[in-house]
Structure 1
């Protein structure tokens, strides 16, 4: 299937698919006309990539799961390495949320001071 059909079937933009390919997460062959051609299994692989990205992982994180991307990831029990990566990503997200919350609180306090003056 060509990239447009893969995009339609997977719900992922062609640009994102090219990005996944550049990251080595999916592969294509080239037709005589130069178009990318993907196998049927890539639809499942893209769904699993999206599943992991939607869970908060990065493409670098997802690359660790390269050998598992062709199976039924949502139903499979997580591996020890998968849990470790998820915990690391959760810690990063928690730290970012805390930093953003503090920045928001500082801004709110600053606005409170300004509105008290005006």
Structure 2
């Protein structure tokens, strides 16, 4: 199938699909006219890529997972230790971001309160 069909079937832009191919996450052959030709299995592959990107992983990490899936197709039944480590690191990163955002939120709430209180005093 051509790249436009793959984009339509997966909801992923042609530009992203080209990027995934450049990163060796997708494989295509070239037709005589130079167009990319993707196998039907690439639909599922794109869906897998999107799943792992939705977990906040980058394409390098996605490539590691996809390689692991080639060796162990039942990732969650027979996990690769590198995947567990990667997920734990990502979870740690997310928890750090949540803590930072919570601090920022509290600081903003404090400043909004001060500003509103001062605005209220100005009206009196």
Question: TM-score interval w.r.t. the shorter chain?
Answer: 0.7 to 0.9
**Equivalences for 1:1-118 in 2 at 5 Å?**
1-67=1-67, 68=69, 76-118=77-119
Instruction: Compute the TM-score of the two structures, normalised by the length of structure 1.
Output: 0.84
**CA contact 1:44–1:71 (8 Å) conserved in 2:** no
- In the TM superposition, what is the alpha-carbon distance from 1:26 to its structure 2 partner? 0.8
TM-score by length of 2: 0.81
CA deviation vs aligned residue, 1:52-98 (integer Å, no higher than 9, x gap)? 11222221211112322698667654322211111111111111121
Higher RCO (CA-CA < 8 Å; seq separation 6+): 1
| Cα displacement string for residues 5-51 of structure 1 (whole angstroms, at most 9, x for unaligned residues) | 11122222212212211222112222222222111221121111112
Unaligned runs of 5+ in 2: 120-124
Give structure 1 stretches of 5+ with no counterpart. Answer: none
Work out the number of aligned pairs and report it. Answer: 118
Q: 1:3·1:36 contact (CA, 8 Å) conserved in 2? A: yes
Looking at CA atoms only, which structure, 1 or 2, has the larger radius of gyration? 2
